[in-house]
């Protein structure tokens, strides 16, 4: 999305965060959401549902580490690059 660590705020209402994440989603993108904000927890179900409806697949960083070329990505340490 082009966000940084200061952009995810507790003041966001559920639909605002959901809309921002879903509208900026793109192929081979990692979305990091912190669960210490209540609004993030409330938004997560809708984000997952919306992205699944658009045929996005979800993998963990552990999945990428176990299968380095999974989905055309190359995982190396803490960096994910296009293969």
Backbone angles phi, psi at 72, to 5 degrees: 80, 15
- Parse the chain into domains and list their residue ranges: 14-82
Phi-psi region of 63 (alpha: psi -120 to 50; beta: other; left: phi over 0): alpha
Which residues are bridge partners to 76 per DSSP?
79
Q: What is the mean pLDDT of the chain?
A: 73
pTM of the model: 0.62
pLDDT tens digits for 9-37? Answer: 555 676 888 898 899 888 777 787 777 77
């Amino acid at each position: 999305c082009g966000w940084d660590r200061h952009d995810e705020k507790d003041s966001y209402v559920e639909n605002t965060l959901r809309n921002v994440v879903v509208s900026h989603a793109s192929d081979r993108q990692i979305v990091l959401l912190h669960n210490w904000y209540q609004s993030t927890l409330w938004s997560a179900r809708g984000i997952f549902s919306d992205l699944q409806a658009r045929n996005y697949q979800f993998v963990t960083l552990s999945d990428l580490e176990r299968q380095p070329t999974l989905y055309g990505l190359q995982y190396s340490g803490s960096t994910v690059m296009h293969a």
